[in-house]
Chains A and B, each alone.
Chain A
Amino acid sequence: MSATGIIETQTLEVSLGPQHPSTHGVFRMDVVLDGEYVVKLKPVMGYLHRNHEQIGEKIAWLANMPYTDRLDYFCSMTNNWAYALAVEKMAGIKVPERAEYIRVIMAELTRLLNHACGIGFLLSDCGAWFTPVLYGLRERELILDFFETVSGARMMCNYMRFGGVRVDLDDQMLAMARNIVARWPKFLDEFEKLMTENEVLLARTQRVGILPRELAINASISGPMARASGVEYDIRKVDKYGVYDRFDFRVPVGETGDVFDRFMIRILEMREAVKILEQALSDIPAGPFIAPEVKLRNFKVPAGDGYGRIEAPKGELGFYLVSEGGTKAYRYHVRPPSFINLTILEDMCLGHKVADAVIILGSVDIVLGEVDR
């Protein structure tokens, strides 16, 4: 106690992670705390660095496809698609229509499973320990079974190929997908009833971790994070890659940009994804599922560079590739959405309590496989 009678406190440095259950993997936050409040936060990354980009420059174009599965291991289908899109742009490959529809189906199913788990984990961080996330994982299991039936693996699908996809969807598989899509709105209703009006959740998440619109744009935040802050930016609408211009869907946009908005945006996006899936599954045309002229071995890409980007569930996933005309990439760079979305973590956390820092991190929805590469 000092002479004036006011308690003097010292700031305390806490290393949250990398083995902390709330950090979604091997992510570490060096937090400086004043009492319970965060005064400084430094994200520390790189514990899961695997040399992904260097490997991509050492192996053949196609051989890198299974490595992209391991970036964001929740969403291997969208990772495959972004990489295939970049290579197809450079090589000038035209993808058959059926393959485009199959890709849309796979990407939207990936969005469903990613958001179902993402908000589940966010609620786990809030203290709803594992009940909501298990509801999400239960539904995700159906999609993973579908992925296994189609591609052979639950998570490391390795499904897209340059110029199409590896395996065609037969009637049985399409019926399986329709079954999942028909079931999903029921799950969402149940989930919303479980959580969205829960007073504890509202008290925990509203007005917490606000990301202002300008900062979101300046820090090049993308995906649900940016849209929750009121940035109406969806690459499916902006680029219209694949056949996304044929589907009728809306882009949900939030107002305040707090944790609750990010939670709701994901639920609304799932509802829109269900809409896209219904349309894609009813309009899917017959035809070839892979461009026949693309060689499997000795595949070469003409010299030049290309950037392929898609709206992955977590944001803008881009692959920047440079080719010298050979069988390997000369330069291979990934623009991972969760890494860039993490950069404003400190701005969102300052002035909040440690417990809020944990849910703010949960609302960013990171996967460390992609952050560290």
Chain B
Amino acid sequence: MIGKGLIDGLVVTAKNFVGSYFDGDRKDRMFTYQYPEERMKLPENSRAFPFLVYDGTPDKMRCTACKICEIECPPQCIYIVMERDEKGKPLTRPKVFDIDLSVCMQCGICVEVCPFESIKMDCDFEMSRYGRFEPLQAHLPDLLKSNEYYHQIKSAEATAVDAGLKAEADKKAAKKAATPPPPPPPKPVATPAEIRAEEEKRAWQTGYQAPLGTGAIVWPPVKEKKKPVEAKPQAVEAKPEQSAGDAPWHDSGLDLAQRMEMAKDRSLADKLMAAMAQTDCSACGFDCRGYADALASGATKDLTLCVPGEDATKNMLENLLKEAGKL
């Protein structure tokens, strides 16, 4: 019969029309939330824009300004400048942390790559502003939110993060407690041959320095006093494979070329350290000195760990290690 399909369709529409008044509670037909008055509970994974977590007070932020999120951000909407003290030493916390909310695409990759559990996704989606430019720039004070707030919006995730951070801190503390004074290296038992060699060396040194002690050759006494002063820098140069205590290049404001110039006469470990980004961000798991020492000693082989230094550092490390024949 012609028109049967039409009437069947109208029956369906009528059922839905009436049903939408009675199948309430969002079970079958009626899903609408009357938005400004009524809000649906967002699922915990829900993500809007990123924010920075701090523990306790805002100055105890977890962010170390390592710039990993800045580098990995797909639309490049993050801008970070590290805080420095008056001498210019990096303080491993951000001075400027801006997120351009008009560019951010809420993908959450910054959260995934952050090694410090510092940047997290907020659930606040009501971001209407009176303007396109400055009102949509989120600066550091706007971004900082407490850990309690994080627990409030995403309790399960925040609890897991806290547990992970605590486990890590405990591990570090246990490591520190287990080795409070670094145990002195056990004195190796010297073999007779070594003892003999040592004695020969000493005898040779005594012989070399003997004229100084006899007083036979020393004529002007003033010169004699100066000699040990001159000998000091020689003592440093005598051990080229160890890193020196000072590091004039430890300043992330310098360029790579300047830093390498400063370290050009130093040991391999120093040169390696000068190639780092000098932020001590600990993204590699060490500070800059520690990573350089680990590379020099061969404890680490991965050259890509220095995130703030990007490819320039990686290439420089590769060149240095190749020159030293360690690669």
Contact = CB atoms under 8 A, between A and B. Distances in A.
Interface of A: 59-60, 62-67, 69, 131, 135, 138, 141-142, 145, 148-153, 156, 158, 166-167, 190, 193-202, 296-298
B108 interface: yes
10 contacts: A131-B13, A145-B43, A148-B43, A152-B45, A158-B107, A193-B12, A198-B6, A202-B5, A296-B112, A297-B72
B74 A141 contact: no
A145 to B, nearest CB: 8
Interface string B1-18: 011111011011100100
A297 B45 contact: no
A193 B8 contact: yes
A297 B109 CA distance: 10
B45 A151 contact: yes
Interface string B223-247: 0000000000000000000000000
A193 B12 CA distance: 7
B12 A141 contact: no
Interface string B22-50: 00000001010000000000110111000
Given A66-B74, A149-B45, A298-B304, A190 B12 contact: yes
B180 to A, nearest CB: 34
B9 A193 contact: yes
A66 B113 CA distance: 14
A132 to B, nearest CB: 9
A199 B109 contact: no
**Max count, chain B CB within 10 A of own CB: residue among A166, A297, A298:** A297
B106 interface: yes
B74 A194 contact: no
Given A198-B6, A297-B68, A297-B72, 9 more contacts: A59-B74, A62-B109, A63-B74, A67-B74, A142-B31, A197-B9, A198-B9, A199-B6, A201-B5
Contacts of B106: 153, 156
A71 B45 CA distance: 23
Contact of B45 (A59, A131, A150): A150
A63 B73 CA distance: 7
Contacts of A156: 105-107
Contacts of B272: none
A64 B74 CA distance: 7
A148 B107 CA distance: 13
The 6 closest A-B pairs by CB, nearest first: A197-B5, A66-B107, A63-B74, A152-B47, A149-B43, A152-B45
A353 B251 CA distance: 73
**Max count, chain A CB within 10 A of own CB: residue among B5, B6, B9, B106:** B9
A152 B46 contact: yes
**Max count, chain B CB within 10 A of own CB: residue among A65, A150, A167, A194:** A194
Contacts of A197: 4-5, 8-9
A197 B113 CA distance: 54
Nearest to A154: B46
Nearest to A183: B28
A66 B31 contact: no
A153 B47 contact: yes
B121 interface: yes
B74 A135 contact: no
A185 to B, nearest CB: 14
B307 interface: yes
A141 B46 contact: no
**Max count, chain A CB within 10 A of own CB: residue among B2, B304, B307:** B304
A138 B23 CA distance: 14
Contact of B109 (A63, A142, A167, A202): A63
Contacts of B16: 135
A358 to B, nearest CB: 21
A81 to B, nearest CB: 16
Contacts of A195: 9
B105 A297 contact: no
A131 B74 CA distance: 39
Contacts of B74: 59, 63-64, 66-67
B46 A148 contact: yes
Given A149-B45, A152-B47, A153-B106, A199 B3 contact: yes
B65 to A, nearest CB: 17
Contacts of B4: 197
Interface string B44-71: 0111000000000000000000001000
Contacts of A152: 43, 45-47, 108, 121
Contacts of B108: 152, 158
